[in-house]
Structure 1
Amino acid sequence: MPEALAGERKLSFLSHDEHLKLNQITGHAYLNLFAFVEEYIIATAVQHAQAEMHGDHAAIRALCRFADEEIKHQQLFYRYLDAFKAGFGHECAVLQDAAAVADVILSKSPIAVMLVTLHLEIMTQAHYTESVRDNETLDPLFARLLKHHWLEESQHAKIDALELDKLVSSAGPEQIKKAFSDYLDLIGAFDGLLDSQSKMDVPSLETATGRKFTEAEAKEIVSAQHAAYRNTFLVLGMENRLFVDIVKKISPSDAAVIASRSAGLSGASNPS
Structure 2
Amino acid sequence: MWEERFADLSAVAARQNGLITSVQAAGVGVEEAALARFAETGLLTELDWAVHQLAWSTLGPRYAYPYAAWLALEPSRFAWERRAAGVDAALSHESACRLHGLGSVPGNLMIFTASVALEGPRATKVHLAPLAPEDVTVVEGVPVTTAQRTIADLLADWTDHGVVRGVLLDAVLKDLVDLRSVHEAVAPLAVRHEFPADGGDFVRYFLPDLAPSQLSPRNLRSWAAMVLPDRVARVQPGAARLIADAGGQADARASWDLAADIVGRSGQTGSPG
TM band (smaller chain):
under 0.3
TM-score (norm 2): 0.27
Task: Choose between structure 1 and 2: higher helix proportion.
Answer: 1
Rg larger in structure:
2
Task: Choose between structure 1 and 2: higher strand proportion.
Answer: 2
Q: Which has the higher contact order (CA 8 A, sep 6+)?
A: 1
TM-score (norm 1): 0.27
